[in-house]
Structure 1
């Protein structure tokens, strides 16, 4: 079991960089190697002496570590065997997954966001406060080899989102402040744009779709949602004051609907398929002068099923996404975080351990208390991140330790 070295050292997620301390443990799953940051938190703001470290994904043995100061962010996946990052200068900084060797690729840009997908790199750069920004697609050796595209959008540096670039749902989504644009991943061509008024937000989903949730600021309620196709056209809308927030969004294919409010809409046409009251939770209202808002219950889309969690009723349930019928319901008093799905079971965690649920019937597949793994109560505490590698293998990282899990031999 890998442990951090030195007093006060902790694991951190490389995607957040090393310039500031986000407090979130994690790693980049690069196949045979898990790449993480090890540093010492300093007043909950900075990381002292951060190093990028590679661990063997099967044994937990440390393969390498390389000093990694002042990184502003890193890609979520490896590209051509490299973890690609950016800092404050005009260069892309890469770490070889196998050896940790550092490579700097000079550019003429000041990057502020980076995304990776398969063998491609996507870099956003420019002056966000002057609406003078560009996105480039290429490789580490030639970062604009495929295309470059200018976007007339921006925000303040203080409001720059950490996830300005999203390329994970079949199209590119570029968000800066109240501006959002879609672009073709193959050629960079902008396909649509929209304004996120108030405190609205937008999130991609499979099938090159975007869910746009409308809301005001200052505590205003959600006023509705829209499902946008790859041209930015709203193919479905709802005035529901409920939004669904998904930890995992992995539908089987385009026949699985998108959930808006209490309803399911066809992913291709936007037509209404079914409604279910199970998609909404209404807390008890304490008084007429203190109204409460309803909440969405959908927590994860797992193939052709939805995992629902009603935090007010303390229940967890499974919903058939093709019909809207509830399959099962069980008490849920652990309030765990949904971590990963391996195609069969979904894994959750809390401060006491990890457990897996079969989303088709609600049965507990396995339950692992942290104290059964390590009697040191400080080793596995707080929030963490888990990755499913397939064949029943998982890796879990907390701030002070990482553990690898595999099926018991029979």
Structure 2
């Protein structure tokens, strides 16, 4: 396949000045989806629809689209998502185009309680944003076809935006509460550097070069940079470097194509699977590495537990690997369970979501199981499976959608709590057909497709 240069990916758009506006979302009540409309996100009755925000109506355009700011407005646009800052949900909105970018993109800050758009700022040329505000600001990077590179910030409270030109050719960003990390260089020439610094000076702390490389296509398919609890993970087209965030010092590096499913977890630990050499398809071993890259635990059980939904990872919670749970600090095996193994082996285990106390499992035989995450004790088991894809959780309630409805499930008791058909929200099936992102907020939920955001309470 032809290799694309970096400029091919950068799409032109004019830089514009920030604007602050306020818009009130539509308030509606759905009466045909349940009678109990009070309570919390973990109660048994279906919530009421408190508000909706339609992208096309809000933008006053024939077509509108919401998109996750972390993916930027240039590449991968149209995948809904938020940066959840607590009192404000931040997302991108724009017009879908035949290319990769959102047309006339704007960043908006939404009140999750009311759906009110608190502010709106232009977001031209954004390629990515950090997932954590730094000093009360969402930090992003931008590039255009004219070769201009910028660090762009959005004040979480006011939406005020600022742009600062930089010389670095940035292609990834990660943020913590007080630090900005960027990746720049030319992966196709094995010329990759990570900078650690501030919004004002992205190299204020350190700059470190890593001998990793890949084609641009593969770089844009991966989560390039992850940072948590003093450890960073750099993934350049499957070539991996684990480093210390206080210095950039490399702790472990792998250019072996057999290393897969490399994931940085809370506590600064890393899990990694190794596949067989001939096919690269079958997992032959897995390892749990500490922040210093030493191997704390390993297993030859050929099953990878892969899940994206549920409670945010917790450093005090066991790591599920193969058919067992391991203490992430010591590497000690805490418990094992055959329930973690799928009936029909496909290389992946049964873990579907992890909540505050529960590992929620779905087997290939359509059964479901709830295990106590700390002891491995089976709490319940059913012979019929929920159909929705888990997107988030609150306490021990898992919520998500199946393309036809929103649903919530009590993972501690193994019972369905409520279902809200999308047809009850809008008779047009296209409104909720594409994508889905969901967050829990106080006593309710906020769900987004690429066309509409819905607040439930």
Residue 336 of structure 1: how far off its partner (Å): 1.4
After superposition, residues 252-331 of structure 1 pair within 5 angstroms as 253-254=315-316, 256-283=317-344, 293-310=346-363, 312-331=364-383
What secondary structure sits across from 2:382 in the alignment? strand
How does the TM-score come out when normalised to structure 1?
Answer: 0.88
Residue 222 of structure 1: how far off its partner (Å): 1.8
Residue 232 (1) aligns with residue 293 (2): yes
Residue 353 (1) aligns with residue 353 (2): no
Residue 107 of structure 1: how far off its partner (Å): 2.2
Provide the rounded CA distance (Å) in 2 between the counterparts of 1:348 and 1:170. 32
Contact 1:198 1:215 in 2 (8 A): yes
Equivalent in 367, 388, 393 of residue 341 of structure 1: 393
Provide the rounded CA distance (Å) in 2 between the counterparts of 1:253 and 1:107. 36
Residue 219 of structure 1: how far off its partner (Å): 6.5
Cross-structure match for 1:39: 94
CA spacing shift, 1:332–1:36, aligned 2, 3 Å: farther
Residue 159 (1) aligns with residue 218 (2): yes
CA spacing shift, 1:320–1:80, aligned 2, 3 Å: same
Q: What are the Cα deviations for residues 263-296 of structure 1, in whole angstroms up to 9, with x where unaligned?
A: 222322223332211001122xxxxxxxx63530
Cross-structure match for 2:208: 149
What secondary structure sits across from 2:126 in the alignment? coil
Q: What are the Cα deviations for residues 308-338 of structure 1, in whole angstroms up to 9, with x where unaligned?
A: 111x221222112333221111244442111
What secondary structure sits across from 2:329 in the alignment? coil
Unaligned runs of 5+ in 2: 1-51
Equivalent in 157, 162, 173 of residue 103 of structure 1: 162
Provide the rounded CA distance (Å) in 2 between the counterparts of 1:145 and 1:76. 20
CA spacing shift, 1:60–1:250, aligned 2, 3 Å: closer
Cross-structure match for 1:183: 243
Residue 160 of structure 1: how far off its partner (Å): 0.9
Provide the rounded CA distance (Å) in 1 between the counterparts of 2:214 and 2:76. 23
Equivalent in 260, 263, 268 of residue 208 of structure 1: 268
CA spacing shift, 1:229–1:199, aligned 2, 3 Å: closer
Residue 394 (1) aligns with residue 445 (2): yes
Provide the rounded CA distance (Å) in 1 between the counterparts of 2:274 and 2:187. 24
* Structure with greater strand share of residues: 1
Residue 16 of structure 1: how far off its partner (Å): 0.9
Contact 1:92 1:107 in 2 (8 A): yes
CA RMSD of aligned residues (A): 2.4
More contact order relative to length (CA 8 Å, sep ≥ 6): 2
How does the TM-score come out when normalised to structure 2?
Answer: 0.79
What secondary structure sits across from 2:418 in the alignment? strand
CA spacing shift, 1:62–1:303, aligned 2, 3 Å: closer
Residue 10 of structure 1: how far off its partner (Å): 1.3
What secondary structure sits across from 2:430 in the alignment? coil
What secondary structure sits across from 1:159 in the alignment? helix
Residue 25 (1) aligns with residue 80 (2): yes
Contact 2:282 2:347 in 1 (8 A): no
Provide the rounded CA distance (Å) in 1 between the counterparts of 2:100 and 2:312. 34
Cross-structure match for 1:369: 421
